[in-house]
Amino acid sequence: MAGGVLPPPSNRGGTGWGPLRVPLLIPTWVMIGIFLLLPVLLMAVYSFLTKEFRGGVIWDFTLAAYDQFFFDRGLFGDEPPVIEWTYISIFWRSIWQAGVATLACLLVGFPTAWFIATRAPAQRTVWLFLITIPYWVNLLIRTVSLKFLIRDNGPLNEALIGLGLLDHPLPLVNTNLAVQLGLFYSYLPFMVLPIYAAVERYNFALSEAASDLYAGRWTILREIVLPMVRPGIVAGCILVFVPSLGAFLAPDLLGGAKTYMIGSLIDEQFKGSQGNWPFGAAIAVILMTMVLMVLMAQARAALKGERK
């Protein structure tokens, strides 16, 4: 993770393991096959099947799920198709929410990671440990607790009113802000840890050299530090953005109907008899395609940067 998205150049190509290479790689390929490729394949196949009314599928191949996502053909499906904005707007909102959460994680995570990485080595372990403690508690419970904290008569609002800063409670629950807060809180460590790893390896003599050559603090940050820890920042952003995009706990518990996100939409398709498995699978495939496109663009940019 620390090395960013690409392996260091020296690891590419021959490893010197010779004939043992293939047998040693077999367990990895089997694991990837069973736990990664097979489920994705299954999902892709399901997205082309026909919905069965009690939940589940009929093995009849159709594009109906994708059609439902992109086009509106009226209540009875007999009108000429127009673009269906419902789901696309849910996608947009998800991207927006995940983007805001990622930015917030970056703004808080970078100084945090910097702070930890610049402590004495013995103290760093303690700080990292403290960062991870909340994550020993189940995400559901933490999200519910957050809701408790920010609700109208929760501790946050009571404190603000008690301090005389507010007259009546600030409505936070069921807003975009609450969802962003939930996502931020859920994924912050995924931002802190890779940036920490990058900053820890940063050679602070470079900052001294830059300041010796007449660079001020902000210039050093911009010209030297950020380019050097970039792989960590990119890794952190991906690790926060991608799961935020598909999150459903935070939007479900902290948001309302107005803050519906992809994760909840997919979740819903697989629940009870109201569900629509092929539709849920199709949404997941569309989401995954989008994420892959973003990751590939990033990998290409990184490759280009390396070649330069």
The residue ranges that bind other proteins (CB under 8 A) are: 203, 205-206, 208-216, 219, 224, 227-228
Map residue 58 onto helix, strand or coil.
Answer: strand
When the beta carbons of 33 and 227 are compared against other proteins, the nearer one is 227
Residue 212 CB, nearest distance to other proteins (Å)?
5
Task: State in angstroms the smallest separation of the CB of 111 from other proteins.
Answer: 21
Measured from the CB atom, the residue of 183 and 225 that comes closer to other proteins is: 225
Q: How far is the CB of 95 from other proteins (least distance, A)?
A: 30
In the complex, minimum distance from the CB of residue 214 to other proteins, in angstroms, rounded to a whole number: 4
Q: Give residue 4's region: left, alpha or beta (phi > 0; psi -120 to 50).
A: left
User: Which structure tokens are listed for 183?
Assistant: 């996502």
Q: Is the dihedral of CA 211, 214, 219, 224 positive or negative?
A: negative
Least CB distance to other proteins at residue 6 (A): 15
Q: Of 2 and 43, which has the nearer Cβ to other proteins? A: 2
For other proteins, give the closer residue by CB, 167 or 306: 306
- Rounded Cα gap, residues 238 and 138, in angstroms: 22
Q: Let me know: does 187 contact 135? Beta carbons within 8 Å.
A: no
Closest to other proteins by CB, 39 vs 305, is 305
Nearer to other proteins, 52 or 200 (CB): 200
Cβ pair 110, 116 in contact under 8 A: no
Nearest approach in angstroms of CB 288 to other proteins is 33
**Nearer to other proteins (CB atom), residue 224 or residue 262:** 224
Which of 267, 297, 299 lies closest to 280 in space, CA to CA?
Answer: 267
Please report, for residues 51, 59, 149, the alpha-carbon distance to residue 48 in angstroms, rounded to integers and kept in the order given.
Answer: 9, 9, 43
Q: Which is nearer to other proteins, 78 or 212 (CB)?
A: 212
> Shortest distance, CB of residue 302 to other proteins, whole angstroms?
13
CB-based contacts of 294, cutoff 8 Å, min separation 6: 241
Can you tell me whether residue 31 is helix, strand or coil? helix
Q: How far is the CB of 263 from other proteins (least distance, A)?
A: 37
Question: Per residue in 155-188, is it b (16+ CB within 10 Å) or e — as a string?
Answer: ebbeeeeeeeeeeebeebbbbbbbbbbbbbbbbb
Residue pair 35/227 in contact (Cβ under 8 Å)? The answer is no
